[in-house]
Structure 1
Amino acid sequence: MTTSRTVPRASTRAWAGVAAITASLFVFVTTELMPVGLLTPISAGLSVSVGLAGMMVTLYGISAGVGVPFLVAWSRTVNRRALLAALLVIMALGNLVTAVSPNFPVVLAARLVTGFAHGVFWAIGVAMAMRLVPGDKASKAAAVVLSGMSIATVAGMPLGTFIESLTGWRTTFLIWSGLSVVVLLAVVLTLPSLPSRSAVPVREVFALPLRNGRLRVVMTTVALYVLGHFGAYTFIRPLMEQRAGMSPVWITGLLIVFGVGGAAGNFVAGHTVTTNMRATFIAACTGLVGSLLLVLLIGTGPAGLAVAVVLWGVSFGAANLCQVNMMLAAAPDTFEAAMSLNTMGYNISIALGALLGGLFATGFGTTGAVWFGVALTAVALLTAFGAHRDGAAPASAEDEVAQP
């Protein structure tokens, strides 16, 4: 990956640009996950089942995943600052249409289009931030951007759930449309011109896993844990309501707890991933399996469920930081292209996780979706152990990647 400096030193404007990209990630992630916290009122408001309402997550994930390698490759000559601005315009319009939609098919159409924008952002966002600062600050810039995901889970989705409880789910999406416009203005004002540098043609993008065995292992492991996590997490609100009898206030509180745990996991993994990336990821996957088992064992009341959700959040936050570093270690010279493939796999896994979790929830209740999560995260853990034994990935992010 080309990570030469765009500015001579990490100026205030450079870090303001990093902050704007972080805010962009916050908007994209909260838009993606908002239906999770609003699943029950959306299904009631649009007269569809909870399982069908989960298609808002599924369809969004499909479009974010399937289209991204093509869109990134086709836009390889487009200035990345202009591309990010266009993506935020699409996000603002998508949330606006969702807020005023007369029926569920219109909602799904809006989610489909915004999903495409989400996928492209994931492929270019981190690389953009790394280019804004000097090489020795690139890793810090990447970590700052990824904190947007934790902020989204700590504040974004719980805030959306709280707003819905006061006003309605349509108002929540309307507010997020306005927030997208605010972030768009921040991007325009703070980011310098960023010509595309590491994007490659479509045929070369899809050839990367064929030539790079380490990349194949990373993508497989990431897909497995994301499948398991979202198979269970998509139905966390119905689980809290039906199994633990929680009110909207309790649900909002536990969603915040999950987000705080994610931020903590991100922070801890940020310190351990540079010394032993595989061990950090294995520990994260172990925590995912354990937390989902705790949901089943002690999640019938607020206290037990809170313990499980804290561990779940910490583990998921750590795993997400690890997967970006693993991608960088596996494909340092084609990071944007590799990230487009990883984004495709990640979001397709979100979509399939929500879909399959919905089938298990419909057939066996919400605990069925959790058991599905246990199974898939356990397979991810076994795959990570296998990669560790076979040496399929570097032990740390510094083993094979020069300082960006």
Structure 2
Amino acid sequence: MTTVGTGPRSQLRAWLGVAAITASLFVFVTTELMPVGLLTPVSAGLSISVGVAGMMVTLYGISAGVGVPFLVAWSRTVNRRVLLATLLAIMAAGNLVTAVSPNFPIVLAARLVTGFAHGVFWAIGVAMAMRLVPGEKVGKAAAVVLSGMSIATVVGMPLGTFLESLTDWRTTFLIWSGLSLAVLLAVVLTLPSLPSQSAIPVREVFALPMRNRRLRAVMSTVALYVLGHFGAYTFIRPFIEQRTGASAAWVTGLLIVFGIGGAVGNFVAGHTVARNTRTTFVAACAGLVASLSLLLLFGDSPAGLAIAVVVWGVSFGAANLCQVNMMLAAAPDTFEAAMSLNTMGYNIAIALGALLGGVFAGGFGTVGAVWLGVALTVTALLTALGSHRDTTRT
């Protein structure tokens, strides 16, 4: 993989470029997940139900997932620096349109377009960072970029909820539009020209799981735990408010706790995943099941709620680190194709999880969405255990 420059000044600019790509991931992930913390005010402001408002997450996930292999193939001749700047411009415009939208259909249209941009970023972002640094530093560059997801969970989404409590949901999206423009400027100033090196034909992306049994198994298990997580997590705010009558500030605090738990889970799994990735993943899935069960059993009390959210965050953070490692280990020679498949499967699971959670929340209340999460994460755990036994026998 070609790198850009080797001198001290070139290396400094390279790591500034890695930081800009990390900031881009922060913007994309917070834009994707921020509606989770804003469902209640958005639904009230646009006169729609909470379940319908959850479509902001669903549609974004669908476009981010389904569009990836096609858009990457169509942009195969585009310089990656130019492409990333374009994606950030789309993100800024999408958040601006959301902020000023007079009705929910326009909000959904904006989310659809920004979702496409998000998916393309996931397919190219980590690979871009790895091209900026010397060969012995590519692993570190990838880890730094992926840390943007944890930062988004710890700081970005709770900050969005906090800003909404001080202003309103429209102002929050307006601020995120400005942040997208700021990151766009950082990308333009720090990244060198990065001509496209390894475009991914659509047929290669879709043929890969047909030839790779291990990759198919990983994708199935990941889809199950992501479905379960987002089926419940999309409706965490209304669940907390209905069960405890918590204020917006209390919800913000719990989201911060969840994000910190995710960072802790990433850190802990980082020390165990190299020794035994599959066992770490099984433990993470078991933690997801336990946390959602705790939420149902003890979610009426502040202490029980806090414990459940901490366990949930730690488990989800660990699972996310594991699934990236499992995907790449399953297809080590087709990095970009694996990342495209990972993006597609993960985001479709987010969308379907939010959709199914909305159906259950509409029919059984928000507790129904949590029960859905329990059922799907139990299935993911059983699938991971079965896959572990198969691997041991082979």
Q: Structure 1 residue 226 and structure 2 residue 226: aligned?
A: yes
Counterpart of 1:398 in structure 2 is none
Instruction: Return closer, same or farther for 1:33/1:138 CA change in 2, 3 Å cut-off.
Output: same
Letter matched to residue 38 of structure 1: L
Letter matched to residue 239 of structure 1: F
Counterpart of 2:244 in structure 1 is 244
User: What SS does the corresponding residue of 2:333 show, helix, strand or coil?
Assistant: helix
Equivalents in 1 of 2:224, 2:6: separation in Å? 41
User: What SS does the corresponding residue of 2:162 show, helix, strand or coil?
Assistant: helix
Counterpart of 1:57 in structure 2 is 57
Q: Name whichever of 30-39 and 192-201 sits farther off.
A: 192-201
Deviation at 1:198, TM superposition (A): 3.0
Counterpart of 1:299 in structure 2 is 299
Counterpart of 1:120 in structure 2 is 120
Counterpart contact for 1:154–1:256, Cα < 8 Å: yes
Counterpart of 2:336 in structure 1 is 336
Equivalents in 2 of 1:214, 1:393: separation in Å? 14
Equivalents in 2 of 1:214, 1:104: separation in Å? 41
Map residues 155-174 of structure 1 onto 2, 5 A cutoff.
Answer: 155-174=155-174
Counterpart contact for 2:69–2:200, Cα < 8 Å: no
Equivalents in 1 of 2:36, 2:191: separation in Å? 32
Equivalents in 1 of 2:113, 2:106: separation in Å? 11
Letter matched to residue 102 of structure 1: P
Counterpart of 1:8 in structure 2 is 6
Counterpart of 2:188 in structure 1 is 188
Equivalents in 1 of 2:378, 2:136: separation in Å? 36
Deviation at 1:197, TM superposition (A): 2.5
Equivalents in 2 of 1:257, 1:52: separation in Å? 27
Counterpart of 1:400 in structure 2 is none
Map residues 266-345 of structure 1 onto 2, 5 A cutoff.
Answer: 266-345=266-345
Counterpart of 2:235 in structure 1 is 235
Q: Name whichever of 205-214 and 137-146 sits farther off.
A: 137-146
Counterpart of 2:23 in structure 1 is 23
Deviation at 1:393, TM superposition (A): 12
Letter matched to residue 5 of structure 1: T
Counterpart contact for 2:69–2:201, Cα < 8 Å: no
Deviation at 1:383, TM superposition (A): 1.5
Q: Structure 1 residue 348 and structure 2 residue 348: aligned?
A: yes
Counterpart contact for 2:4–2:14, Cα < 8 Å: no
Identity %: 82
Instruction: Return closer, same or farther for 1:393/1:291 CA change in 2, 3 Å cut-off.
Output: farther
Letter matched to residue 109 of structure 2: A
Equivalents in 2 of 1:247, 1:87: separation in Å? 35
Equivalents in 2 of 1:392, 1:346: separation in Å? 26
TM-score normalised by the chain length of structure 2: 0.97
Deviation at 1:335, TM superposition (A): 1.1
Q: Name whichever of 5-14 and 85-94 sits farther off.
A: 5-14
Deviation at 1:244, TM superposition (A): 1.7
Count of residues in correspondence between the two structures: 392
Letter matched to residue 242 of structure 1: Q
Counterpart of 1:399 in structure 2 is none
Deviation at 1:200, TM superposition (A): 2.1
Equivalents in 2 of 1:284, 1:133: separation in Å? 32
Q: Name whichever of 159-168 and 169-178 sits farther off.
A: 159-168
Equivalents in 2 of 1:300, 1:85: separation in Å? 46
Letter matched to residue 182 of structure 2: V
Map residues 100-111 of structure 1 onto 2, 5 A cutoff.
Answer: 100-111=100-111
Equivalents in 2 of 1:164, 1:194: separation in Å? 38
Instruction: Return closer, same or farther for 1:214/1:253 CA change in 2, 3 Å cut-off.
Output: same
Counterpart contact for 2:78–2:196, Cα < 8 Å: yes
Counterpart contact for 1:42–1:169, Cα < 8 Å: yes
Letter matched to residue 210 of structure 2: L
Q: Structure 1 residue 383 and structure 2 residue 386: aligned?
A: no
Counterpart contact for 1:246–1:302, Cα < 8 Å: no
Counterpart of 1:136 in structure 2 is 136
Instruction: Return closer, same or farther for 1:220/1:265 CA change in 2, 3 Å cut-off.
Output: same
Structure 1 stretches of at least 4 aligned residues deviating more than 6 Å after TM superposition = none
Letter matched to residue 80 of structure 2: R
User: What SS does the corresponding residue of 2:334 show, helix, strand or coil?
Assistant: helix
Equivalents in 2 of 1:287, 1:141: separation in Å? 29
Equivalents in 2 of 1:263, 1:222: separation in Å? 19
Deviation at 1:379, TM superposition (A): 1.1
Counterpart of 2:207 in structure 1 is 207
TM-score normalised by the chain length of structure 1: 0.94
Deviation at 1:135, TM superposition (A): 2.4
* Unpaired runs of at least 5, structure 2: none
Counterpart contact for 2:60–2:114, Cα < 8 Å: yes
Output one character per residue of 1:183-238: Cα deviation in whole Å (capped at 9) or x when no partner.
01111111122222233211111111111111111111111111000000000000
Deviation at 1:281, TM superposition (A): 1.1
Equivalents in 2 of 1:13, 1:221: separation in Å? 39
Counterpart of 2:47 in structure 1 is 47
Counterpart contact for 2:33–2:157, Cα < 8 Å: yes
Equivalents in 2 of 1:341, 1:8: separation in Å? 32
* Unpaired runs of at least 5, structure 1: 395-404
Counterpart contact for 1:65–1:119, Cα < 8 Å: yes
